Amino acid sequence: MNDNIAAISTAAGVGGVAIIRISGPNPLAIAEKMFKPTGKTRVENFTPNFMYTGKIICDGFEDFGMCVYFKAPKSFTGEDVVEFHCHGGVQIARGVLSEAIRLGATAAEKGEFTKRAFVNGKLSLSSAEGMIDMINAESSALVRAGNMLYSEKLTSQVRELQSALKDTLAEIAANSDYPEEDLENLNEDNIADKIRLLSERLEALSSTYSCGRKIKDGVTVAICGKPNTGKSSLLNALLGYDKAIVSSEAGTTRDAVEGSVELNGVKFNLIDTAGIRECAGEVESIGIERAKKILASADVVLSVTDGSGAAELPETSAEVITVFNKCDLRKANASYGAVVSAKTGEGLENLKNLLADKALGELSLDKAYIIEQRHFDALARANQSLNNALENIGVFTWDILAIDLKEAWEALGEITGETANESIINTVFEKFCVGK
Ligand code: GDP
């Protein structure tokens, strides 16, 4: 990469400070022309990682700020990097960037700094994905999960699996090279056991996606029950603001109303379904159809009753929590998952805890787990290749088996980026913003 790229790295808008970053073969040459240090040290003699104060000279104005130089390879991108820290005004930041571009830098594309970091081996592809998850996170659980990826926890687990696969491949290769020698341990059962063990480890990792997906996308909670039981009120109470129309007239919530909220660190997508009723009018029956679809895709269903009639338990494969609402009016007449009052807020904390428990289950947030569909798909392909290998043992020659194992190895490499093709890499970095 023989060009210097430049971008505003801080968010667009007004703030205390804005940072403009330049990365490439010689960003210091650009800095020499647009930064006049306060002290005696000239820009070309800047000590890496030290901040220097001075004037940032732009076309039409100057600002007083700071400049720092990171020397390759000890920088974010692995290239030489210069950062200007100017006052955080939109026009100031744009002016500094324009000046850098006028002096020869190219405007960076989305995620180009991180892409260069990846290409220069500073981080893996999954680490870059974790970073963007952290930046875009709408819940603290996703910040944590993103950091798990960013700090290469998944990478090291994937590399362990790859290394076990390589060992098995080496064993097979040794046998193919010296077939006449009676190699100790190389028999079909022994290799099959090793592959089976690997497949089990892949499956265990894949199974974490059922929770990991919820951390990434949010837990979908459908609130259902008979009209007037207080579903809309409960939605509003959980969201913390008025979103659904609350009325004492049955059937007011004609269609699904939804909102997202972070409860106990986890993102929840709450959907208040229209009252599921028999003999409904046309508008309402459209709502009922939607309600059924929502139930089918929900992770958790809150089945709300106010004790005025029997609760209808919906047909769903989701976890159902029965909620007795309006406990300020009457006592719960049976045992329920949660007893609340959407009006007074009683019992809501318990309900939030229960929802967060259901969302994360037994998942330990500090170990490696899967939160990205892309990683889940790659694991599934790797596992498919292992299963093919198992089926091929004893049927085909060892070289055919080796092809299956290599395919599994390559599929795993897509997670870390080692074997990812240009299109996979571009898809990942397209999700980034300019300046990252
Ligand atoms: P929905 O049809 O199930 O969505 O029910 P709404 O949320 O529209 O509520 C129906 C009526 O019950 C409204 O008059 C609410 O003010 C009332 N309501 C809802 N929750 C409670 C509660 O916890 N306590 C009391 N006393 N009234 C409630």
Q: Which residues contact 86 (CB under 8 A, 6 or more apart)?
A: 17, 18, 19, 20, 56, 63, 65, 92, 93, 96
If you measure from the C-alpha of residue 312 to the centroid of ligand 1, how many angstroms do you get, rounded to a whole number? 17
In sign, the C-alpha dihedral spanning 83, 86, 92, 95 is negative
From residue 359, how far is each of 49, 140, 220, 296 by CA, in Å? 43, 14, 9, 17
Residue 184 pLDDT more than 70? Answer: no
pLDDT digits 0-9 by tens, 101-159:
999 999 999 999 999 999 999 999 999 999 999 999 999 999 999 999 999 999 999 99
Q: Which residue has the higher pLDDT, 183 or 303?
A: 303
Q: Which residues contact 112 (CB under 8 A, 6 or more apart)?
A: 5, 7, 429, 434
Q: Is the peptide bond before 25 cis (omega within 30 degrees of 0)?
A: no
Asked whether 211 and 359 are in contact (CB, 8 A), the reply is yes
Q: What are the backbone angles phi and psi of residue 305, rounded to the nearest 5°?
A: -135, 155
- Helix spans in 9-111 (H): 27-34, 90-102
Q: Is the CB of 174 within 6 Å of ligand 1?
A: no
Distance CA 155, CA 161 (A): 10
Q: Is the CB of 125 within 6 Å of ligand 1?
A: no
pLDDT digits 0-9 by tens, 294-334:
888 899 999 999 988 766 677 788 999 999 999 999 998 78
pLDDT of residue 275: 47
Q: Which of 224, 226, 228, 302 to mutate to test the pocket of ligand 1 (most atoms within 8 A of CB)?
A: 228
Q: Which residue has the higher pLDDT, 248 or 295?
A: 295
pLDDT digits 0-9 by tens, 85-109:
999 999 999 999 999 999 999 999 9
pLDDT of residue 361: 76
If you measure from the C-alpha of residue 309 to the centroid of ligand 1, how many angstroms do you get, rounded to a whole number? 15
If you measure from the C-alpha of residue 95 to the centroid of ligand 1, how many angstroms do you get, rounded to a whole number? 55
Confidence label for 279 from pLDDT (cuts 50, 70 and 90) = very low
Distance CA 354, CA 350 (A): 6
Nearest CA to ligand 1 atom 19: 230
Residue 399 pLDDT more than 70? Answer: yes
If you measure from the C-alpha of residue 267 to the centroid of ligand 1, how many angstroms do you get, rounded to a whole number? 25
Q: Is the CB of 252 within 6 Å of ligand 1?
A: yes
Determine the average pLDDT of the residues in 271-296: 64
Of the chain, the percentage scoring pLDDT greater than 70 comes to 89
**DSSP-based helix, strand, coil % in the chain, nearest 5:** 45, 20, 35
3-state secondary structure of 377: helix
Q: Which atom of ligand 1 is nearest to the CA of 247?
A: 8
Q: Which atom of ligand 1 is nearest to the CA of 248?
A: 14
Residue 359 pLDDT more than 90? Answer: no
Q: Is the CB of 328 within 6 Å of ligand 1?
A: yes
Q: Which residue has the higher pLDDT, 58 or 249?
A: 58
Distance CA 119, CA 123 (A): 8
Determine the average pLDDT of the residues in 389-394: 88
Q: Is the CB of 316 within 6 Å of ligand 1?
A: no
Asked whether 436 and 12 are in contact (CB, 8 A), the reply is no
3-state secondary structure of 49: coil
DSSP track, 386-414: HHHHHHHTTTS-HHHHHHHHHHHHHHHHH
Asked whether 113 and 23 are in contact (CB, 8 A), the reply is yes
| E strand or H helix at 322 | strand 319-324
Q: Which residues contact 59 (CB under 8 A, 6 or more apart)?
A: 95, 98, 99, 102
- What is the residue-averaged pLDDT of the chain? 88
Bridge pairing between strands 17-24 and 219-225:
unpaired
Confidence label for 17 from pLDDT (cuts 50, 70 and 90) = very high
Q: Is the CB of 122 within 6 Å of ligand 1?
A: no
Residue 183 pLDDT more than 60? Answer: no
pLDDT of residue 252: 53
Q: Is the CB of 303 within 6 Å of ligand 1?
A: no
Confidence label for 273 from pLDDT (cuts 50, 70 and 90) = confident
Distance CA 282, CA 83 (A): 61
3-state secondary structure of 289: helix
pLDDT of residue 90: 95
pLDDT digits 0-9 by tens, 196-212:
999 999 999 999 999 99
Q: Is the CB of 231 within 6 Å of ligand 1?
A: yes
pLDDT digits 0-9 by tens, 36-91:
999 999 999 999 999 999 999 999 999 999 999 999 999 999 999 999 999 999 99
Model pTM? 0.84
Confidence label for 254 from pLDDT (cuts 50, 70 and 90) = very low
3-state secondary structure of 221: strand
Confidence label for 278 from pLDDT (cuts 50, 70 and 90) = very low
Bridge pairing between strands 106-107 and 266-272:
unpaired
If you measure from the C-alpha of residue 318 to the centroid of ligand 1, how many angstroms do you get, rounded to a whole number? 25
